[in-house]
Structure 1
Amino acid sequence: MEITHHGGYLGVTGSCHQLHLNSAESILIDCGSFQGADARRRTSPEIEFSLDGIKALLLTHVHIDHIGRIPYLIQAGFDRPIYCTPPTAKFLPVMLEDAIRLGITKNKKVVGSLVKSITELIHPVSYGKWQSLPGNAEFRFSTAGHILGAAVIEIKNKDAWICFSGDLGSRCTPILNPPVSPERADLLVLESTYGDRIHEGRETRMERLEAILLETLENRGVTLIPAFSLGRTQELLYELNQIIEGIGKKHGSSALSAYDIIVDSPLAIKLTDIYEQMEPYWGQEAREILTVDKQPFVFNNLIEIDRAGESAGNLEYLKRSGKPAIVIAGSGMCAGGRIMDYLRAFLSRPNTDIVFVGYQAVGTTGRAIQDCQEGKCSVRIDQHEYPVRAKTHTLSGYSAHADQLDLIKFVQGIPKPPKEIRLVHGEDHAKEVLQKKLQELGYNTVYFKDDRNDAPIRNSNH
């Protein structure tokens, strides 16, 4: 077996790996969009590789950098099974419908036709169940802990046992079960997004978020939280529910009525509804919470905004009224979506706080704001320069990605050390630091430093 990497091996976005099962048959693992600087290095989002012999697409999860090129795959003629976990099967059509409307066409007929074609190819496979593939190979999904439905993928035949980690979750994620290491991996293709750092703990992140909420209240400002519609938004709502309850106990219920918490994202609202139907796949803590709180993502201060007209009206109201508010909106990297309207309105106000709770890719507006020193630079949005006078905060504890400790724990959980660990889905510095740490522990670890996109796998009989 050999791998051809079609994305996600040099930078963070665009994950797409082709595993050749034999000389004539192969499968794809993910088919994601490029974002930020990764996207600007490419001339087209369309599929640039041959589909000959590709027998299936296996998905690790439904974030756009792992699924965003599927519509182009369909347009190129792909008509093979799309294997994924049951939660991913529920989320996938919703995520791709939104992506098609925003990135390809707003023509309802074309959107509907593409989504229908994709939906007809989806084959849900339960966690832990081995599923047959061509070439006398088989695969199974294990829990990845990144977002609901995320999976680690193990693929084996008589010669080799390959593992694709996909995106692994953090130990601080309360509503998901932790990642499960593979039973074996001759080659481990491992994500490295935060291979160079260690996240703050859950208690610390909640304390910091509570402090920001109280500061917003005192300054009568607006706190903006760019968040992915799936995963981060639900986790924020889950913990905001607890934080608000704590504020009420410490400062009285009148403090709570002074500001609103607004989710301005039609996609996030739709996905949260599906999330609530997926209770069997929640983590233990979240399932236990249900015994005392049947709606852990809902609380009195919460306002959900769906329609565009309501969003515009809410924005104007916040600009005029000076009422304190916390706004959660997409996109998570400030690469589009309704968060951009709020940034244009509030980025230059000193009583604005911007809270980053997830990775900001190089070349995105989110990364530009994150790298700004308060009051000392500006950010270009739609050809206009906006001074960054807002205070910025990065709460690394809310990342849905494993940190260095989590990644090492995942590797050490494999009973027999892999013959090779191949780092993907990370910036060079993150990969370099993680490589050094793993090599110090005795693991043969490599990553790509150039545009080479073919590399043979060391089979188990080597």
Structure 2
Amino acid sequence: MNVEFLGGAREIGRSAVLVDDSLLLDYGMATGNPPSFPVGDPDPDAVVVSHGHLDHVGAVPSLLSGDARPPVHWTPPTRDLASVLARDTLKLHGGSYDCPFTEAEIERLSQVSETHGYRETFTAAGYEVTFFDAGHIPGSAHVLIDDGDTRLLYTGDFHTEDTQLLSGTTARPEADIVITESTYSNVDHDPRETVEERFAESVRTTIWEGGTVVVPAFAIGRTQEMLMVCEAHDIDCYVDGMGQKVTRIARRYPDFLRDGDALQRAKSHARFVTGRDGQRKRIAEKSTAIVTTSGMLSGGPAMTYVPEIRGNPTNKITFTGYQVEGTPGRELLDRGRAEIDGRVMSVSARTEAYDFSAHADREGLLDFLDSYRDARILVNHGDRCEAFAEELREAGFDATAPELGETLESR
């Protein structure tokens, strides 16, 4: 079994792994100006997608140009999320050279789509493939590939701790080779219950003081998590942006959630914003929480809310996810000012950050990999892959960090 790393090697973004020039695992894009895509020009017999985040699924429609029609295998939630992301990408980049696909390729996705549940073995490009719940976002999967001689486990992104939305992964299928993500290989998350309590207390206090809390949240996974946290702690809240559409998708698949009824209660507790007739400006004057995209303040309805609430120090902006360097969210946290919707603004409202990560931390990664001490470990999807691989070797693992474009043979 040969494994070629077309993206995600020693980096985060544009994940893509090609097995024997035949089976493609993920085909994502890295956001940026311009965005970047996997290297090479793969022509796979089949595609398997681990989950519906842009850096894992964003470029999949481009594989369907010309006469190419490889079947695309994923869980039902991942299929639906991929369609939403593809259309959003086309809207953002369709008029420029930055988008590698058209509406025609997006339409073809439905023709080649094949959905599977967890632990249902299926055949793709001649391999036996099985999905296992990865606990990252709804529908996220570890991917086990078996060619009869070698068993390869591609972890995708995963989380080992329970959240309001999902149960942490407990799957540990036998494997000879493990390709593991390493996003938080040098970070220890605080217990989720502690983070939730701190967040809830801060938001309740601000609302009691008469302030408004803007909660920037990623549309996929994080928005649904924050709605459930607000409901669980009886916090008045609105939801705005793409997270509304994703919440509706997640509700269609309760079997891929920890508690589908709890998400329904959270949806009923929150008020969905239409954005018509100045509604957002009126909501920004209320003593309430507003869960909205984008999670890093790079677009979305947050462009209306933040300018409206920025001048009052009673108000608050509570970030719920990692803020990439150079994004408005990071600038605001570091400097108290940021470029919002084309204008550099100083912000008097208080800013806070809470670690609601959907990735395993260092302890979670090591706990997961402890089941694979006899396997070959290939570290990817991180900004310190080489360092983590070295730490694993010192702990007795057979671990390496492949380079971008590198092909490795099973041994």
With the length of structure 1 as denominator, give the TM-score of the two structures: 0.80
* AA at the equivalent of 1:423: V
User: How far did 1:44 drift?
Assistant: 5.8
Q: Which residue of 1 aligns with 2:353?
A: 394
Change (3 A) 1:219 1:59: same
The structure 2 residue matched to 1:355, chosen from 318, 321, 334, is: 318
Matches within 5 A, 1:363-402: 363-370=326-333, 372-373=334-335, 375=336, 378-396=337-355, 398-402=356-360
Q: Which residue of 1 aligns with 2:265?
A: 296
Q: Secondary structure at the match of 1:50?
A: coil
Q: Which residue of 2 aligns with 1:271?
A: 246
Aligned residues: 407
Q: Which residue of 2 aligns with 1:27?
A: 23
**Does residue 1:341 correspond to 2:304, yes or no?**
yes
User: How far did 1:162 drift?
Assistant: 1.4
- Paired with 1:357 and 1:432, the residues of 2 have a C-alpha distance of 28
Change (3 A) 1:179 1:128: same
Q: Secondary structure at the match of 1:350?
A: coil
Decide which moves more: 196-205 or 338-347.
338-347
Matches within 5 A, 1:24-173: 25-35=21-31, 39-40=32-33, 45=36, 49-52=40-43, 54-75=44-65, 78-104=68-94, 113-134=104-125, 136-173=126-163
Cα displacement string for residues 285-320 of structure 1 (whole angstroms, at most 9, x for unaligned residues): x25xx4xx68322345x22013x435xx1332245x
- Paired with 2:67 and 2:406, the residues of 1 have a C-alpha distance of 24
The structure 2 residue matched to 1:404, chosen from 362, 383, 386, is: 362
Gaps of 5+ in 1: 245-255
Matches within 5 A, 1:188-337: 188-244=178-234, 260-265=236-241, 267-283=242-258, 286=259, 290=261, 295-300=264-269, 302-306=270-274, 308-310=275-277, 313-318=278-283, 322-337=285-300
User: How far did 1:33 drift?
Assistant: 1.7
- Paired with 1:351 and 1:103, the residues of 2 have a C-alpha distance of 38
* AA at the equivalent of 1:445: A
Q: Secondary structure at the match of 2:267?
A: coil
- Paired with 2:123 and 2:307, the residues of 1 have a C-alpha distance of 51
Q: Is the Cα contact below 8 Å between 1:4 and 1:17 reproduced in 2?
A: yes
User: How far did 1:112 drift?
Assistant: 5.3
Cα displacement string for residues 318-337 of structure 1 (whole angstroms, at most 9, x for unaligned residues): 45xx4222111112233322
- Paired with 1:168 and 1:348, the residues of 2 have a C-alpha distance of 39
- Paired with 1:432 and 1:332, the residues of 2 have a C-alpha distance of 29
The structure 1 residue matched to 2:378, chosen from 400, 422, 447, is: 422
* AA at the equivalent of 2:243: A
User: How far did 1:87 drift?
Assistant: 2.6
Change (3 A) 1:75 1:350: farther
* AA at the equivalent of 2:406: D
- Paired with 1:362 and 1:143, the residues of 2 have a C-alpha distance of 31
Change (3 A) 1:13 1:157: same
* AA at the equivalent of 1:359: Y
User: How far did 1:48 drift?
Assistant: 5.4
Q: Secondary structure at the match of 2:205?
A: helix
Q: Is the Cα contact below 8 Å between 2:90 and 2:103 reproduced in 1?
A: no
Q: Is the Cα contact below 8 Å between 2:69 and 2:112 reproduced in 1?
A: yes
Change (3 A) 1:387 1:179: same
- What is the CA RMSD across the aligned residues, in angstroms? 2.7
* AA at the equivalent of 1:456: L
Q: Secondary structure at the match of 1:296?
A: helix
Q: Secondary structure at the match of 1:413?
A: helix
Residue identity (%)? 27
With the length of structure 2 as denominator, give the TM-score of the two structures: 0.89
* AA at the equivalent of 1:139: V
- Paired with 2:56 and 2:217, the residues of 1 have a C-alpha distance of 17
Change (3 A) 1:379 1:408: same
User: How far did 1:104 drift?
Assistant: 2.0
Change (3 A) 1:351 1:453: farther
Cα displacement string for residues 190-235 of structure 1 (whole angstroms, at most 9, x for unaligned residues): 1111111111112211211122212321442222222122211111
Matches within 5 A, 1:410-449: 410-414=368-372, 417-419=374-376, 421-428=377-384, 431=385, 434-447=388-401
User: How far did 1:382 drift?
Assistant: 4.6
Gaps of 5+ in 2: none
- Paired with 1:87 and 1:44, the residues of 2 have a C-alpha distance of 25
Change (3 A) 1:355 1:77: farther
* AA at the equivalent of 1:13: G
Q: Is the Cα contact below 8 Å between 2:378 and 2:399 reproduced in 1?
A: yes
